[in-house]
Chains A and B, each alone.
Chain A
Amino acid sequence: MLTKEQAGDIFDRIRKISSADEVEVLFAGGRFALTRFANNTIHQNVAEENHSVSVRRAFGGQTARASTNKFDDESLRQVVRAAENLAKVQHPDPDLLPMPDSREAGGSDGSRAKVAVPSRHFAQTAAITPEIRAEGVKQIVGVADRHKLTTAGVFSSGESFEGIFNSRGLSNWHTQTSAEVSITMLAADSSGWQKASSPDVANLDPLRLAEIAAKKAVDSAHPRELSAGKYTVILEPAAVLDIVGFMFWDYSGMAILDQRSFLTGRIGQKLFGDNITIWDDVAHPLQAGSPFDGEGMLRQRVGLVENGVVKRVVYARATAVRMKRSEYRDNVGPIAATGHGFPLPNEMGEMPLNIVFAPTGDPKNVEQMIASTERGVLVTRLWYIREVEPFEKMLTGMTRDGTFYVENGRVQGGVRNFRFNESLIHMLSNVEAMSVPLRSCGEESFDMVVPAMKVREFNFTEVTKF
């Protein structure tokens, strides 16, 4: 893998070639491998190593980006020229700021708090081989065989780097490992699913995940059809993560300025229940990811929602400056660069990517939620979620891989999958109970630290055929 020192040398070469007022170089890449299984056999098994260098040049108010994965002199000359050609034909943008120096980016100018992020690189994870992954899959297949089920899924591992250097002396570097296990267990007319990810493979337990997925497949066999309607639902953490993930694009200063956020005119209002408090916190021990943003600014811990009240949104540097000049400035809470910007130039501005739900004072686990439910539906995961209406945050999607009917405090068996049409505002106002938040992953949104939730009046509008 590319090291920070090697990247520094490449940056120096680019800087010598460049005639721009300012230059910024992003580095990304690493090694990644994924073993994929289906029908109780490994059917795809891949590995790759790649790296890229992405050059942004700025001339006054003009900026553009070009990238390549070739590091020879001619390729670097070409990528510098391409960025220049794209930048120089643009009209100057008065909102484009000078690149940050390390003082501003790191907060040592006193503008921002220091955030200590734990190491996310683990030697054991970096050393995972195809044989180790195959052995893990073999164990999962063993569980499937024992339950007379068919299994499909992935076991992946990787080691990656992200870096940024600019001509004002800023340099940041982050390395991380990652491991992920996802398991589907299929029976004749039912299925179960589990997934987990971590920078440290020691935190993953494929056998336990396989047993849970298998139990869900067995317990949901011969699903009955319930009529569509409003139900109390118990959403396991993966289901919560996949649905709430659709609102975090809107916790962005740029989204407010563009009037495409459902929070436009609503910051400071109580939108959700008292029990909903949400942070963005890159340093949380269950989180992953880089501690700096697309301009190299260190990410801050930001309280987005407190006891149901939306407190603020996140900002890239330029967005914060624009917001302070805007008509919204007195009604959006604190305005400051928070270290959540995407690499420039971009249209979206910024977004919180390290979501952590605060624990409730009286957590209930899923079993306790079931025990307290007279009539409801237990949902393992949600699927194919899309936005139907953007301002009430109405979303549609399906349940999948383990949907159960709950009656009189007990799981009564599997039910056919539902389609939901539900407003996130409505849903997060109707949370009756929450578990301890966990690191969770799904397929529709990025990994988060979220609880399971018991939600009343969740709106199922249709039933499918299985």
Chain B
Amino acid sequence: MKHIANWALNTASTRGASYADVRVMAQRSRAMSTKNGKVGSASDAESVGMNVRVIADGAWGFAASAELGRGAVEATAAEAVAIARASARVKRENVRLAAEKPVVAEWTTPNRIDPFTVSIEQNIELLLKIDAELRAVTGVTLAEANLNFNRDEQWFTSSEGAEIHQTKLSTGAGYAAYAFAGNEIQKRSYPNSFGGQWQNKGYELIEELKLVENARRIAEEAVALHHADQCPEGTFDIILDSSQLGLQIHESVGHPIELDRVLGMEANFAGTSFLTLDKLRTLRYGSDLVNVVADARQEHGPGLGTFGFDDEGVPAQCTPIISNGLFTGYLSSRETAHTIGENRSGATMRAEGWNRLPMIRMTNISLLPGEKSLSLEQLIASTDRGVLMQTNRSWSIDDKRYNFQFGCEIGWEIKNGKRVRMVKNPSYSGITTEFWNSLDAVCSHDEWTLWGTPNCGKGQPQQVMGTGHGAAPARFRGIKVGSAFKGS
């Protein structure tokens, strides 16, 4: 692949680019699903291509092509430079990049079993087994299950001398049982909703998830929700399970700390952020127990935000985001690092594919577990009155990331330290910083899971990216519950 990069870099340089990088990518995916006892979809896809990102006349240009012949590659590089010169017609100042020592490296997602080597028969058999378990429960009207595998191989080369060959592997699996009766549709999902659990690892994830073993319980809960009472409305203490808390972190910490949003670069689509630059190291984001990191390193775990190098060639890092409740860090890039007084990128630039521009994306944004031993059952036992909410059903937050509302698939009312009844349609809402300041307990590491969010959308043209979120169940005091159904 080095020859392709050289064709592009030489052309960019000849045309006057002051900086250029090239990413050549081969992407492969396999998706299989079942629905009500039959294969719903079965598909394989591969996509190969390259892109050139340049700075010329102090402005950015980017062009991508599926053709990898010399003529097409050189034309693509020339187009990128021409686009940069067009960008320069509407600029206020020149782009400047934080220095980064160029690296020559190889990196591959650690994995035990390459999921593409597992037979299709075995995968379909697993999905149909789950499906049968779900539909064995009377009242289940729709059963869906999915398996997904992705492999992205990339060769990154820059005009500064970086040469990085990186292969990332991800695996995802999940299922849902729906129960329709009367005027109501209820749903339960496992291990998480909207695609299940995803991690950057091999097929060993599927073996760890105990998918079949949990299917009957999940189906029974979907049906039982029809007989459950509506979640009460009012102000309660709530306990969020770790998957719901992972999404809460994603929406109310992960997005607002993206420095491109803070600087207005996403104002037209994804929005901006309440975390203006004056809040760095001054804002009390949460209570003393809130410790959040942005950690892309393998030692944090196999999250969807784990890698060796970002798509600017910067090595993976761990950035403290919230330290004992104090806001301490943003997600940055080579272009934006200087705006927060940093002389190096935080290594968060990633692109969906060969035809997309890298942008600031969440890595693994994780709430660190509590230091004192605390299980979920102990947390429930220490709660006088509240609601335990599990598995996301809906999520919404404003374009500065203040006001949010989440719905969950199932809730459990807690009284005097005990789960007393199942409740349906639980939801809660609040203001980001008020919410995180109300946290008064986080379970310890035994309850901590590194969840994968495979569907984070951002950018124009929109890119979908996987992000990781580690969380253990936590309790929040005095939260508004049920206002979603107020007045309906």
Q: Which of A41, A138, A186, A421 contacts B488 (CB 8 A)?
A: A421
Q: Is the C-beta of B141 less than 8 angstroms from some C-beta in chain A? A: yes
Contacts known (A50-B49, A459-B488); A385 close to B396, Cβ less than 8 A: yes
A191 to B269, CA, bound (A): 13
Whether a CB of chain B sits under 8 angstroms from the CB of A203 is no
The reply to whether A48 and B65 contact each other, CB–CB distance below 8 Å, is yes
Which residues of the other chain, A, contact B44 by a CB distance below 8 angstroms? 65-67, 79, 82-83, 86
| B83 and A260 contact, CB distance less than 8 A | no
> Do B405 and A47 touch (CB < 8 A)?
no
Q: List 21 A-B contacts (CB under 8 A).
A: A34-B461, A42-B86, A43-B60, A44-B62, A48-B65, A49-B65, A65-B41, A68-B46, A70-B66, A134-B89, A134-B90, A259-B178, A345-B39, A345-B42, A346-B40, A385-B396, A392-B183, A400-B398, A419-B403, A421-B405, A466-B398
Question: Given A150-B264, A184-B267, does the pair A66, B483 have CB atoms closer than 8 Å?
Answer: no
- The answer to whether the Cβ of B4 comes within 8 Å of any Cβ in the partner chain is no
Contact bitstring B4-43, A, C-beta under 8 A = 1, else 0: 0000000000000000000000000000110110111111
B residues 60-101 touching A (CB-CB < 8 Å): 60-67, 79-80, 82-84, 86-93
Partner of A66, one of B38, B43, B82: B43
The reply on A98 being an interface residue by CB < 8 A is no
Minimum distance in angstroms from A27 CB to a CB of chain B: 13
B164 at interface, CB cutoff 8 A: no
How far is it, in angstroms, between the C-alpha of A137 and the C-alpha of B394 when the chains are bound?
A: 36
Binds A, one of B195-203, B305-313, B319-327, B424-432: B424-432
**8 A Cβ contacts from A43-79 to B:** 43-52, 54, 64-70, 79
Give the interface centre of A41, A85, A186 by most chain B CB atoms within 10 Å: A41
Interface footprint category on A: 35 or more
User: Are B483 and A89 closer than 8 Å at their CB atoms?
Assistant: no
**Would you call A327 an interface residue if the criterion is a C-beta within 8 Å of the partner chain's C-beta atoms?**
no
**Cβ B265 vs Cβ A90 within 8 A:** no
Is there contact, CB below 8 Å, between B48 and A347?
no
The 5 closest A-B pairs by CB, nearest first: A130-B86, A464-B403, A347-B40, A259-B180, A152-B267
Number of contact residues on B: which range applies?
35 or more
Specify which chain B residues have a CB less than 8 angstroms from the CB of A123 in the assembled complex. Answer: none
CB of B124 within 8 A of CB of A90, answer yes
Closest-CB distance, A211 to chain B (whole angstroms): 17
CB-nearest residue of chain B to A137: B90
A48-B64, A52-B47, A66-B44 are known; give 4 further A-B pairs, CB within 8 A.
A47-B80, A50-B47, A150-B264, A345-B40
Q: Is A465 in contact with chain B by the CB < 8 A criterion?
A: yes
Please state if B89 and A131 are interface contacts (CB–CB under 8 Å). yes
Interface SS, A side = strand
A127 to chain B: closest CB distance in Å?
Answer: 15
Name the interface residues of A150-199: CB closer than 8 Å to any CB of B.
150, 152-154, 156, 182-184, 186, 191, 193
Contact with A along B111-127 (1 / 0, CB 8 A): 00000000111001000
CB pair A388 B92 closer than 8 Å:
no
Q: Give the distance in Å from the alpha carbon of A42 to the alpha carbon of B85 in the complex.
A: 11
Q: What 1/0 mask marks residues of chain A from 426 to 466 whose CB sits below 8 Å from any chain B CB?
A: 10000000000000000100000000000000010111111
* CB <8 Å contact, A86 and B120: yes
**Is residue A398 contacting chain B, with contact meaning CB distance below 8 A?**
yes
Contacts of B184 in A (CB 8 A): 391
Residue numbers in B under 8 Å from A383 (CB-CB) = 271, 398-399
Chain A minimum-CB-distance residue to B141: A259
Task: Chain B residues near A41: list those with CB within 8 A.
Answer: 90-93
Given A45-B83, A183-B268, A465-B431, A67 and B41 contact (CB-CB distance below 8 Å): no
| Contact yes or no, A42 B48, CB < 8 A | no
**Beta-carbon contact of A391 and B183 below 8 Å:** yes
- Interface: A329 (CB within 8 A): no
How distant is the Cα of A138 from the Cα of B174 in the complex, in angstroms?
Answer: 48
Q: Which of A386-435 contact B (CB under 8 A)?
A: 386-392, 394, 396-398, 400-401, 417, 419, 421, 423, 426
Closest beta carbon of chain B to A58's beta carbon, Å = 12
A421 to B264, CA, bound (A): 28
Which residues of B have CB within 8 Å of A259? 141-142, 178, 180, 185
CB of A37 within 8 Å of the partner chain: yes
Tell me, yes or no, whether B402 is within 8 Å of chain A by CB: yes
Once bound together, how far apart are the Cα atoms of A86 and B127, in whole Å? 14
Q: Which residues does chain B contribute within 8 Å of A400, judged by CB atoms?
A: 271, 398-399
Residue B144 at the A interface, CB < 8 A?
yes
Give which listed residue, B79, B93, B268, B393, contacts A153 with CB less than 8 A: B268
Given known A-B contacts A347-B40, A421-B483, A68 and B431 have beta carbons under 8 A apart: no
